């Protein structure tokens, strides 16, 4: 998953603001990180984010979640591709 610094950089490029507080809220506390990334709780969290950071902050929160999901599934895809290649090589197919 992208680091807080990567999220900050992307937000800065996209909006001219780094939204470091939003990214730190999501990623900064290891004990709460999984709960704050739980997509079933987006509605609950979006109210808090909107009240504190406004509409643009909410958009950055949603993009953070999106970017993390995208990175996680890309990682899974890469692992799967490697496993398939290793299996094919094991059986002499590749």
What CA–CA distance (Å, rounded) separates 79 from 36? 25
* Structural domain for 76, as ranges: 4-90
| Number of domains within the chain | 1
pTM of the model: 0.85
pLDDT at 94 over 90: no
DSSP classification of residue 17? -
Going by pLDDT thresholds of 50, 70 and 90, the confidence category of residue 1 is confident
Mean pLDDT of the 47-62 span: 95
**Percentage of the chain modeled with pLDDT above 70:** 100
Residue given tokens 């643009």 in the structure block: 56
Mean pLDDT of the 56-81 span: 96
Contacts (Cβ under 8 Å, ≥6 apart) of 53: 19, 21, 22, 60, 61
């Amino acid at each position: 998953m992208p680091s807080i610094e990567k999220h900050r950089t992307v937000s800065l490029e996209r909006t001219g603001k780094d939204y470091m507080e939003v990214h730190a809220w999501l990623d900064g506390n290891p004990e709460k990180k999984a709960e704050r990334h739980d997509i079933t709780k987006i509605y609950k969290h979006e109210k808090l984010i909107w009240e504190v950071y406004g509409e643009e902050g909410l958009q950055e929160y949603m993009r953070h979640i999106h970017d993390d999901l995208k990175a996680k599934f890309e990682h899974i895809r890469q692992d799967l591709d490697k496993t398939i290649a290793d299996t094919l090589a094991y059986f002499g197919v590749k």
